[in-house]
Amino acid sequence: MERPLTERIRPGETNWLADYQKAGGYEGLKAALKMTPREVQEVVKQSNLRGRGGAGFPTGLKWSFVPLGDDAPRPKYLIANGDEMEPGTFKDRLLLEGDPHQLIEGMIISAYAIQAEVGYIFLRWAYKKAEHVINKALAEAYQAGLLGKNILGSGFNFDLYLHTSAGRYICGEETALINSLEGKRANPRAKPPFPQTSGLFGKPSIVNNIETLCNVPHILHHGPDWYHSISHSVDGGTKIFGVSGKVKNPGLWELPLGVTLREVLEEKAGGMREGLKFKGLLPGGASTDFLTEQHLDIKLDYKGVEQAGSRLGTGTMIVLDDQTCVVGMVHNLEQFFAQESCGWCTPCRDGLPWTRNILWTIENGQGKMEDLEILEGMTKTLAPGNTFCALAPGAMEPLQSALKYFREDFERHIKEKRCPWRS
Amino acid sequence: MVTINIDGKNYQVEPKNNLLQTVLSLGLDLPYFCWHPAMGSVGSCRQCAVKKYADENDQKGRIVMACMEPVVDGMRISLNDPEVKKFRENIIELLMTNHPHDCPVCDEGGECHLQDMTLMSGHNYRRFEFNKRTHNNQYLGPFINHEMNRCIACYRCVRFYREYAGGRDFNVFASRNRVFFGRYEDGVLESEFSGNLVEICPTGVFTDKTYKKHYTRKWDLTTAPSICHNCSLGCNIIAGERYGAIRRIASRYNGKVNGYFICDRGRFGYEYVNSDQRIKEPLRRGQASGQLEPVDVSTAFEFVKNIVSKKGKILGIGSPKASVESNFALQKFVGKENFFAGVSGPEHRLTLKAMDIMQNGPSNVPSLKETEKADVVLVLGEDVTNTAPMLALSLRQASRVKPMELPIKMNIPTWHELAAMELIQDERGPFFVLTPSETKLDDVATATYRNAPDNIARMGFAIAHEIDHNAPAVEDLTEEEKKLAKQIADELVAAKKPLIVSGTSLLNEKILEAAANIGRAIDKKEKIANLFFVLPEANSFGLAMLEDKALDQALQAAENNKYDAVVILENDLYRRLPASEADRLLNSAGKVVALHYLQNQTTEKADLVIPVGPFTESDGTLINNEGRAQRFFQVFYPQETIKESWRWLAGFMEDNGLVGEDELVNLDDLINAVVSDYPAISAIKEAAPGSQFRINGQKIPRASHRFSGRTSINAMCRSANQNHRKMQILPCPLPWKATMDRCRRPPCRVSGTLAGIRYRLLISFKLKLAADCMAVIPAYVCLNRAWKMNLIILKKCRPCSKHKKTTGWPFRSICFTAATNSAVLRPALKN
């Protein structure tokens, strides 16, 4: 099984430029620079690479909206979204710390494909090691003529900078990230217009997830057909899956898209710890719907998870066992989302704290049956399209699915006037 | 025109606005908070949700925010779909989770947008059982009170203060449900437009501190449409009174002048009306004491009669702050040859010069609102933030006109504020400020030029020469100056709507000439330049229409001819002339009669002081800097000794047989007399409806409909029980009535049967969306490109009726049913 993204990574070590090049690094860039930007976009389109940040938008298609040619507004920007703050998600950290040049190469190729002059790596503030690693790798790349003016003699110029965030979850939303990068409040922007036409400083911009960008060099190096061949799904390539929670062997694994949930959970993560039973999981981070026992055999690709009523999201799962209180867990998640709302739109700003408060009272045995109605109403009020961005609808996903699958647990709290999981 | 379907009914609408505005213009009710017609859409409050259907067969539809939706042909929406109604109710419920229930003690009460919208959306039962979040309030200076707990985070304040008005010391801080709107620390707000926060805020976070100081409930105010007297722009205001004191000033929407806003000077500069220094009864210099002593009205009349009956010659000195009618009455009283404008000679001649350029010179004279549309702005010598603050606000909007071409090119509608601002970023249009010192508009300027007034004029001539080489050239310019002149000239020629702003404040005639030359040069390029001149005072234009002669000639006349008395109208000569000259004038002109509302140096020297009403206690007409005549109306009737200046003067004339009995009794008579003597300004008659104006046989209530439940009634229209027989006031000689009481049916009603609630709601006082008939009857007329008012009185005046269609702004269309304007002409001035 091929693991293009992670096969070079050794835990605790970093591949610097020499190691990376020895393992075939920057070959994809050389291939790309021989093509026209449109051809590069076409190759990525054919590979059917989809965004790994959560939404799963086809990357090649996203790029194609950027105006090309001489009369396009300048400068154009490419931004790597490394603001990995989704609870339960830690996949980009591995890529950033272990193999920074993979990202840099991916960014140069992507920038070439959209003819961007300037790039930013927007990094989560807590990733101190990654910050150090990227800074060093950027210096190496500049030294080697891989960044800056006239890259590898191709005439293409690209400057890449690292920006460490001030630490807000909402900065993971691409337009809020752009505002933050401009030095403004990290409020999301209205879409349309999309960043592809009016992004950073009002210029055409592309925001891609770290993992997405790391796929690009391999697609260019080995071609789209190879990329399809390493997947078990119509979606091309591999995906880094992660499992956290009370399993025997929590961690990250790069696996072909389309492996089954059971395979990841039982073979890779080793199943539940002794004495615990599997109850459910959030398949792609905190802002996805719960999946339960009945869904264990679904294929982990974008379509498969969607059909099961959830989203592939970031592909990093949080496992819930039968000894953990689901109300407490959802309360904890809503606490996070209420905390991270930017405060721009009403449903999110005022709806999430209320949701959190109700969950807190239920968890502490003071809930009422009417509270469940309010919670259900909230999942409708904060549905996609009703709020300004996807934060609040994302926050509603674990809640609405918990109410669907684990309603009894909520009712037990209310009837027993205490949390049954607490002694 | 496109057709849209709302709840199964087709409407023809213009597709230029967003859906929310379109729906409101149709007279339909839809609650909203963050949208504001002057500031566009940002989609933050999520209150204006409607159901949008993909096509004819779509039964389910999806919820969209009307403010963020463009209007497209064939679109089908629903306002009353149960799901979307429920959603709007839920949003209000969320907004109210943290809102204190302090309406009974809140200054906003009675005019609260949030109250109205809550009622409209149908949220009336509280399910939120937790603690409310609380904030600390800040000291924001003497004008604005801060009560953050009431905040519903609509972001209007910060958008107005920073983006619209260019302030820097106010912002939004923190995040989630703890967002805080204020300054980074306590302190006085620096913006000249901070008072608008009071009106922009949909609830009581920002309230008027001066109003709070002498607080009264909003519905107990007696109000009248008025005109700001603080600069030459003539912004429209509403003045509110209770128990004989002015309690507050609010802006009054006028789509040609100030739009929705007024400056802080206009809003908070009213306290002199309530001052201890007010002159409340006639004062005569006692022969024994040599001091001014109160006397009764008949003594004052005798005093004047004594002078007139001896065939005494009287010198009259007018005022650029007093109304056309008062100045006219004085002129008529003393005779034209003895009347002088109460302004220093240089200033008056500059005003005449500016008027001459406006009337006979090149170019177009835009209205204040039109200046917002200019794509290239040249400010020649005028620090507009100080001399005409609202113009600075307009010019700030103009600086965005050129950059806004980019969003338009990219199919981003201009009302989509959020997207447009992100695209244009800090880009500002060609904007040049040529002034002697720094101005507050420098931050949007492309280039600034600092030099002495004469050199600014030279630059002006140089620019004109660059545009048209036949215009006189200027020698000895430095390379930099040449470059700048060339740059400005090129931009002006390339502009679609070039605007040159200048004025009289530097007392430099050459600057005006230079501005005129630039206008003339641009006109030659087959373009129309816009020339906007700032004049010294509220009625400088009106006074100059009546009189060419100024104080220097008055001094000469006083010293050469033997005058028995001088009558000074609402003026202080010591602020117009050097003290020595003022002394000479007063000493050489015999008895001194001063008509004024406040004690000043001139009244101290007077032999007789007549108590007159300031703008709140009198009616009259002002002509603003662009030649627009606007009427202001008496807010309340003060104690009986205080009358309008023109009423006193008309009384003197009648008393001395100079006019026939009952010839000049009320304002209508005065205006008719002005018109017959000065046909050039006959349009002042059309500035507002006369005293006989009625709708449905009713006077127009001055209180808005929602104020129908006043707690007590201040009997405004008192019976004519006056001390002096000469000056009986006919009961309420105005087209207004004081309150909603006994108003069987409001003549101008906005109906709304909302959410099953029986209340008939007005959409919003804040936006003057049909709230007050008073607010929307246009009390203005433009002499400049004159307007003729055509009063059409409909049997059933339902201004916001669905039949009105979208003929533009709801506000404009509302009472135009009752009073429609059509354009006449500018040459009316050229006589």
Inter-chain contact A377–B90, Cβ cutoff 8 Å? yes
Asked if B97 lies within 8 A of A347 by C-beta distance, the reply is no
The single-letter DSSP state of residue B577 is S
Q: In what order do the strands lie in the sheet with A205-209?
A: A159-164, A118-123, A77-82, A205-209
Residue of B46, B68, B127 lying closest to A347 (CB–CB): B46
Query: Which stretches within B195-343 are classed as H helix?
Result: 196-200, 209-213, 264-268, 297-309, 324-334
In degrees, rounded to 5, the angle at the alpha carbon of residue B655 between the alpha carbons of residues B649 and B659 is 75
Would you say residue B785 has pLDDT above 80?
Answer: no
* pLDDT score recorded for residue B260: 86
Please tell me the predicted confidence (pLDDT) of residue B697.
63
Query: Strand B780-782's sheet: what is its strand order?
Result: B620-623, B628-632, B780-782
A386 vs B46, B153, B176: nearest CB? B46
- pLDDT of B724 over the 50 cut: no
Contact B177 A377 (CB under 8 A): no
Shortest CA gap B67–chain A (Å): 12
For residue A360, give the 3-state DSSP assignment.
helix
Give the pLDDT band (50/70/90) at residue B251.
Answer: confident
Question: What residues of chain B lie within 8 A of the CB of A357, using their CB?
Answer: 130
CATH class of the B283-343+542-710+730-829 domain in this structure: alpha beta
State how beta strands A159-164 and A118-123 pair. parallel
CA of A187: how far to CAs of A57, A130, A183, B155, B177, in Å?
Answer: 21, 25, 11, 12, 14
State whether B130 and A357 contact (CB < 8 Å): yes
Q: What is the pLDDT of residue B809?
A: 25
Nearest to A346 among B94, B410, B423 (CB): B94
Q: Do B87 and A386 touch (CB under 8 A)?
A: yes
Q: Which residue has the tokens 């799962």?
A: A317
Question: Six-digit token pair at A104?
Answer: 């840099």
User: Is pLDDT of B796 > 50?
Assistant: no
- Phi, psi at residue B671, to the nearest 5°? -65, -40
Residues of A in contact with B410 (CB under 8 A): 193, 197-198
Which chain A residues are within 8 Å of B87, Cβ to Cβ? 380-381, 386
Nearest to A189 among B152, B410, B418 (CB): B418
Residue B750 has pLDDT above 60, yes or no: no
What is the SS3 assignment for B476-517?
CCCHHHHHHHHHHHHHHHHCCCEEEEEECCCCCHHHHHHHHH
Q: Determine the 3-state secondary structure of B13 from DSSP.
A: strand
**Joined tokens for residue B584:** 């000479």
- Percent of chain B at pLDDT above 90? 58
- pLDDT at B550 exceeding the cut of 50: yes
d(CA B491, CA B498): 8
Please report residues of A whose CB lies closer than 8 A to that of B47.
346
Give whole-number Cα distances, B27 to A44, A70, A254, A259, B172, in Å.
Answer: 52, 48, 60, 58, 34
Tell me which chain B residues have a C-beta less than 8 angstroms from the C-beta of A386: 46, 49, 63, 87
Q: Is the dihedral of CA A403, A409, A410, A412 positive or negative?
A: positive
Mean pLDDT throughout B583-589?
A: 93
Token pair 């023109």 in the structure block, residue? B646
DSSP string computed for B682-734: GGGGGGS--TT--BTTBPEESS-GGGGG-SS----S--S--S-GGGPPPS--S
Of the partner residues B90, B97, B175, the one whose CB lies closest to the CB of residue A341: B175
Residues in A 122-181 with any Cβ partner in B closer than 8 A: 168
Write down the pLDDT at residue B798. 34
The pLDDT assigned to B735 comes to 60
CB B127 within 8 A of CB B93: yes
Query: In 3-state terms, what secondary structure has residue A44?
Result: helix
Q: How buried is B153 (Cβ within 10 angstroms: 0-12 exposed, 13-18 middle, 19+ buried)?
A: buried
Q: What's the pLDDT score for residue B774?
A: 37
Q: What is the pLDDT of residue B698?
A: 63
Greatest CA span in chain B, whole angstroms? 95
CATH topology of domain A238-321: Ubiquitin-like (UB roll) (3.10.20)
Low-confidence ranges of chain A (pLDDT < 70): none
Q: B237 - beta bridge partners?
A: B226, B251
Going by the DSSP 8-state scheme, the letter that residue B754 receives in this structure is B
How confident is residue B570, by pLDDT bands cut at 50, 70 and 90?
very high
* Alpha carbons A109 and B221: distance in angstroms, whole number: 69
| Sign of the CA dihedral running B445, B450, B452, B456 | negative
B829 three-state secondary structure: helix
Transcribe B614-680 into DSSP letters: -GGG--EEEE-TTSEEEEE-------TT-B-HHHHHHHHHHHTTSS-TTSS-SHHHHHHHHHHH-GG
pLDDT of B25 above 70 = yes
pLDDT at B701: 62
* pLDDT score recorded for residue B47: 94
CB contact under 8 A, A343 and B130: no
How many Å separate Cα B658 from the centre of its chain? Answer: 37
- Say if the Cβ atoms of B422 and A189 lie within 8 Å: yes
B106-125+132-213 under CATH 3.30.70.20, yes or no: yes
The pLDDT value recorded for residue B738 is: 53
**pLDDT of B732 over the 50 cut:** no
Rounded Cα distance, B62 and A419, in Å = 38
CB spacing of B94 vs A189 below 8 angstroms: no
Gap from A126 CA to chain B (nearest CA, Å)? 20
d(CA B22, CA A421) in angstroms, rounded, equals 55
Which of A77-81, A167-171, B243-247, B474-478 is the least confident region? B243-247
Is B94 in Cβ contact with A193 (below 8 Å)?
no
Q: Which two tokens stand for residue B166?
A: 């260019």
Inter-chain Cβ pairs, chain A and chain B, closer than 8 A? 103
Measure CB to CB from residue B416 to each of A190, A341, A380 and give the nearest one.
A190
Q: Do A342 and B153 touch (CB under 8 A)?
A: no
CB atoms within 10 A of CB B55: 8
From chain A, the residues in CB contact with B95 under 8 A are: 346, 350
Give me the pLDDT at residue B747, please.
Answer: 38
Q: How long a stretch of residues is chain A? A: 423
- Say whether pLDDT at B536 is over 80: yes
Residue ranges per structural domain of chain A? 17-229, 238-321, 326-416
Do the beta carbons of residue A113 and residue A242 sit within 8 Å? no
In the predicted model, is pLDDT for residue B749 greater than 70?
A: no
Contact at 8 Å (CB) between B569 and B540?
no
CB A218 within 8 A of CB A224: no
Minimal C-alpha gap between A339 and chain B (Å): 6
Residue B14: predicted pLDDT: 86
Please calculate the CA angle A335-A341-A344 and round it to the nearest 5 degrees: 150
Q: What CA–CA distance (Å, rounded) separates B512 from B380?
A: 9
**Six-digit token pair at A272?**
């539940």
Domain ranges of chain B: 2-96, 106-125+132-213, 283-343+542-710+730-829, 349-535
Tell which CATH architecture fits domain A326-416. Up-down Bundle (1.20)
Rounded to an integer, what distance in angstroms lies between the CA atom of residue B59 and that of residue B53?
7
Q: What is the mean pLDDT of residues B129-137?
A: 94
What is the per-residue pLDDT for B704?
53
Measured in degrees and rounded to the nearest 5, phi and psi for residue B212 equal -60, -35
Secondary structure class of B243 (helix, strand, coil): coil
For domain B349-535, the CATH class is alpha beta
User: For the residues B127-138, what does the mean pLDDT come to?
Assistant: 94
- Please tell me if residue A339 touches chain B, with a CB cutoff of 8 Å: yes
Is residue A74 less than 8 Å (CB to CB) from chain B?
no
B70 bridge partner residues: B18
Which residues face A122 on adjacent strands?
A81, A163
B176 contacts chain A (CB < 8 A): yes
Instruction: Work out the angle at residue A313's Cα, subtended by the Cα atoms of residues A311 and A316, and round it to the nearest 5 degrees.
Output: 115
Q: What is the mean pLDDT of chain B?
A: 82
Helix/strand number for chain A, H first, E second: 17, 9
Whether B418 has its CB under 8 Å from any CB of chain A: the answer is: yes
Q: What is the 3-state secondary structure (H, E, C) of B343-367?
A: CCHHHHHHHHHHHHHHHHCCCECCC
Question: Under CATH, which number does the domain A17-229 receive?
Answer: 3.40.50.11540
Note whether A350 contacts B175, CB cutoff 8 Å. Answer: no
Bridge partners (DSSP) of residue B780 are B630
B92 touches chain A (CB under 8 A): no
Class for the domain spanning B2-96: alpha beta
User: Which pLDDT belongs to residue B242?
Assistant: 82
What ipTM is given for this predicted complex?
Answer: 0.94
- Cβ atoms of B785 and B359 within 8 Å: the answer is no
B266-301: pLDDT as tens digits: 999 999 999 999 999 999 998 888 899 999 999 999
Residue A364 in contact with partner chain B when CB distance is under 8 A:
no
- At residue B783 the predicted structure's pLDDT band, cuts being 50, 70 and 90, is very low
| A297 reaches B (C-beta below 8 A) | no
- Tokens matching residue A20: 């990376």
**H or E element: which one contains B386?**
helix B384-387
Q: Is A324 on the interface with B (CB under 8 A)?
A: no
Indicate which of B177, B181, B411 best probes the interface with A, i.e. most A CBs within 10 Å of its own CB.
B177
